[in-house]
Chains A and B, each alone.
Chain A
Amino acid sequence: MTTTARTVPAALQCLRGSARRIGALSRAEALLLRRNPMALLTALGTPIVGVALLNALPPSGSVPLPGAGIAVTLTAFALLFPLYYNLVTTLVARREELVLKRLRSSECSDAEILIGAGAPAMTIAWGQATVGVVAATTVLGMALPVNPVLVIVAVLLGTVVFVLLAAVSTAVTRTVEMAQLSTLPVVVVSMVLGGLFPPDMLPGPLPWVAELLPLTQVVDLMWLGLTGTTRDSPGDGESLSGIVAAFLVLGAWVVAGVLARRRLMRWEPRK
């Protein structure tokens, strides 16, 4: 009993300390983002431009609810650009400025440094996802989300995967400018296969490959959470197995991401 009584406040204190350190890092990072108009414009503007462009494409016929489609597409773009791409450039910039090296000599853990550096990017991405859902329900005639918890969990899991992917991508990104090139594989594969285009538009074995990608699963989970159906409109039984499969795929990406980050990410420039 005594042990439990003592452990709980200790754990709480630990969490509070963690939150304080992440808060300090993210406030500084937000200040830096505000002082970098180009990065801010990329982070805020890309998803909107992306949605506008995709919306201009002829409809595929299999998207029954345009409101939900736009909310999901905006979220997917938000995970790719404000979050993934922006975080790669941020981490590389801080690494090359020797700031990451300094932070590693602080009380912050590696995870706190990553979350602190990524917090403004996450906030923008979540803000855009929220705007997408609110706009879909209020303006585009989508009904209220049937399972909002599923939507939130999908976005959170997607966030974890893309933060880890960003950390891993810094290993092949020597300079901030190189990020435009080094992020292309993740961005292009995610955009083409990862759920922005309905699977029935993909040829050959690609729909099967697409199912293994994290963005596809985030998109599918969001569809289920927002509308109660997937893009292929299956029944409820299939929805449950779909949810389990999505969690398994995303879980595998998280584990792989954590391992790869530990092995590949460098905290200081190559000498």
Chain B
Amino acid sequence: MLGRMDATGVIDVAGLHRHYCGGGRGFEAVRGVSFSVRRGELFALLGTNGAGKTSLLEVVEGLAPATSGTVRVLGRDPHSERRAVRPRVGIVLQDSGFPPELTVMEMARMWAGTLTAPRPVGETLDMVDLGHRARVGVHQLSGGERRRLDLALALLGRPDVLFLDEPTSGLDPAARQGVWRLLRDLLDGGATILLSTHHMDEAESLADRLAIMHRGRVVRTGTPAEIVSGQAARISFGWPPGVVPPLPVLPGGVTVEPARGGVVLRTRDLQLTVAALLEWANHHDLRLHHFTARPASLQETFLALAESGGDHHDEEWVR
């Protein structure tokens, strides 16, 4: 996957702040975010609702100015140099609409008319599997179909850079897989993608690198493997009936938390810990109920961050 990328910074964000006025003192939605996306890379922004992903994306897309900090897309300021940047980018907003009285084809033709070098409309609708719905009124589309039309419009201009704000929200699993395949093809074709999502599997499956946002800041950044590597794996089981000998000291830097009717272990070395644990159980002839062992995942890491974020000051989050 790394073969398609090169070191050229296509999107560069440095020290970005976005402040909303109004409501007393106002509100700072983005608080000093920096990251860079290379050519051919898919960079995912993860975060809870209200983490600042959309506020950040809107600035990078050029829809709003930064309060402070700098943003460069293809070497230019996407807000003040909108005219130069827009012909080379495609945008799927978190929510944007269609005039309900237009058909899918009419909407796509209208959009194509605003573009410098559009793809053929029919071909683009086929890319998102909407070709058969071309004559249908936009108001008759399902939520998932509307989302795919959003994506089709973003692809119409043959963009070098795609900004996708939760592009698969509302899609069924099959349609989501279809969109993932399409995005992989676009990446293979040299596109650069900045995508926000709160589906961990989406980020895990697609992202070359990602950033986890919380309360306007980036609290983790790296490849999915790097982000997960700092996180402990998880083992859980229920105690068998009767008297159970105490757990031995297990290898792998294990922490033990009691759970209802059982125990949850967290370890840095899943294989070592599981081997020692099962050896102990076999030795005492114990059957561990609902025994599960799973490696650290993005989901686990994200949940751990979200939980600790609720209890700690933001500064303690940043590693």
Q: Using a CB–CB distance below 8 Å, which chain A residues touch chain B?
A: 17, 20-21, 23-25, 27-28, 31-32, 35-36, 93-94, 97-99, 101-109
Q: Is B110 interfacial (CB-CB < 8 Å)?
A: yes
Chain A positions within 8 Å of B98 at CB level: 97, 99, 102
Q: Are A105 and B116 in contact (CB under 8 A)?
A: no
A27 vs B102: C-alpha distance when bound (angstroms): 11
**Are B116 and A97 touching (Cβ within 8 A)?**
no
Bound together, the chains give a CA A98 to CA B138 distance in angstroms of 13
Cβ of B99 and Cβ of A24 under 8 Å apart?
no
- Residue in contact with B113 in the complex, picked from A20, A36, A102, A109, CB distance below 8 Å: A20
CA separation between A31 and B116, bound complex, in Å?
A: 23
Distance, CA A103 to CA B107, complexed state (A): 12
> Would you call B113 and A97 a contact (CB within 8 A)?
no
Minimum Cβ distance to chain A for residue B103 (Å):
10
Are B97 and A99 within 8 A (Cβ)?
yes
- Cβ of B83 under 8 Å from chain A: yes
- CA–CA, A228 to B209, complex, Å? 72
In contact, B101 and A36 (Cβ under 8 angstroms): yes
- The answer to whether B205 has its CB under 8 Å from any CB of chain A is no
Tell whether, in the assembled complex, residue A24 and residue B113 are in contact, meaning their CB atoms are under 8 Å apart.
Answer: yes
Contact call A102/B114, Cβ cutoff below 8 A: no
Contact indicator B112/A24 (Cβ below 8 Å): yes
Most buried by A among B95, B96, B111: B96
Q: Which residue of A lies closest to B87 (CB)?
A: A107
Interface residues of B in 61-87 (CB under 8 A from A): 61, 63, 82-83, 86-87
Chain B residues in 8 Å Cβ range of A108: 114
Pair B91/A98 contact, Cβ less than 8 Å: no
Tell me whether A102 and B96 are in contact (CB under 8 A): yes
User: What distance in Å separates the Cβ of A37 from its nearest Cβ neighbour in chain B?
Assistant: 12
B22 CB, nearest partner CB in chain A, Å: 11
Q: Collect the chain B residues with CB atoms within 8 Å of residue A31's CB.
A: 101-102, 106
| Count of CB-CB pairs between chains A and B under 8 Å | 73
Alpha-carbon separation in the docked complex, A94 to B87 (Å): 23
- Whether B59 is near chain A, meaning CB under 8 Å from some CB there, is no
Determine the distance from Cα of A36 to Cα of B102 in the docked complex, in whole angstroms.
12
**A105 to B96, Cβ gap below 8 A?**
yes
* B93 part of interface (Cβ distance < 8 Å): yes
The contact size tier of chain B is 20 to 34
In the complex, chain A residues whose CB is within 8 Å of the CB of B272? none
Besides A28-B106, A102-B153, 15 other A-B contacts (C-beta < 8 A):
A21-B113, A24-B112, A24-B114, A25-B110, A25-B113, A28-B99, A31-B106, A32-B99, A32-B101, A35-B101, A97-B100, A98-B97, A106-B86, A108-B114, A109-B82
In-complex Cβ contact of B97 among A27, A35, A102, A104 (8 A) = A102
Q: Which residues of the other chain, B, contact A104 by a CB distance below 8 angstroms?
A: 63
B113 near A23 with CB under 8 A, answer yes
**Roughly how many angstroms separate A27 CA and B107 CA in the complex, as a whole number?**
11
- What's the minimum C-beta distance from B128 to chain A, rounded to whole angstroms? 16
Closest 3 CB pairs of A and B: A24-B113, A98-B97, A102-B96
Which chain A residue has the least Cβ–Cβ distance from B163? A105
Q: Do the beta carbons of B63 and A105 come within 8 Å of each other?
A: yes
Q: Are A97 and B114 in contact (CB under 8 A)?
A: no
A109–B80 Cα distance when bound, in Å, is 12
Q: How far is the CA of A267 from the CA of B124 in the complex (A)?
A: 27
For this complex, 12 residue pairs linking A to B, each with C-beta atoms less than 8 Å apart, are A17-B116, A20-B114, A24-B111, A24-B113, A27-B110, A31-B102, A31-B106, A102-B153, A105-B61, A105-B63, A107-B114, A107-B115
Residue of A nearest to B150 (CB): A102
- Cα A110 to Cα B63 with chains together (Å): 11
Residues of chain A within 8 A (CB-CB) of B111 are 24, 106
User: Are A109 and B83 in contact, CB atoms less than 8 angstroms apart?
Assistant: yes
Across the interface, do A99 and B113 meet the contact criterion of CB distance under 8 Å?
no
Shortest distance in angstroms between A142's beta carbon and chain B's nearest beta carbon?
A: 41
Measured in the bound complex, the distance between the Cα atoms of B93 and A94 in whole Å is: 16
Provided the pairs A24-B112, A25-B114, A31-B102 are in contact, do residues A105 and B93 lie with their beta carbons within 8 angstroms?
yes
CA distance A28 to B153 in the complex (A): 15
Query: In the assembled complex, how far is the CB of residue B102 from the closest CB belonging to chain A, in whole angstroms?
Result: 6
With A35-B101, A97-B100 in contact, do A27 and B113 touch (Cβ < 8 Å)? yes
CA distance A17 to B117 in the complex (A): 11
* Contact assessment for B110 and A28 in the assembled complex, using a CB-CB cutoff below 8 Å: yes
Q: Are B110 and A24 in contact (CB under 8 A)?
A: yes
Report the Cα distance A107→B102, complex, angstroms. Answer: 20
Instruction: Determine if A105 and B97 form an interchain contact, defined as CB atoms under 8 angstroms apart.
Output: no
Task: Determine the chain A residues whose CB is within 8 A of the CB of B97 once the complex forms.
Answer: 97-99, 101-102
Task: Point out the residues of chain A lying under 8 angstroms from B95, CB to CB.
Answer: 98, 101
List the A side residues contacting B112 at CB < 8 Å. Answer: 24
Q: Min CB distance, B156 to chain A, in Å?
A: 10
Chain B 148-170: CB-based contact to A (< 8 A → 1; otherwise 0)? 00000100010000000000000
> How far in angstroms is the closest Cβ of chain A from B157?
8
Docked Cα-Cα span, A36 to B63, in Å, equals 31
Q: Chain B's nearest CB lies how many Å from the CB of A26?
A: 10
CB of A171 to closest CB in B, whole Å: 15
Cα-based distance from A32 to B116 in the complex (angstroms): 24
B102/A28 in contact, CB under 8 A = yes
CA distance A72 to B115 in the complex (A): 40
Q: Report Cα–Cα, A200/B209, bound state, in Å.
A: 74
For the complex formed, measure the closest distance between the CB of A261 and the CB atoms of chain B, giving whole angstroms: 17
Question: Do A101 and B99 touch across chains, with their CB atoms under 8 A apart?
Answer: no
CA A8 to CA B111, docked complex, whole Å: 27
B40 to chain A, nearest CB (A): 23
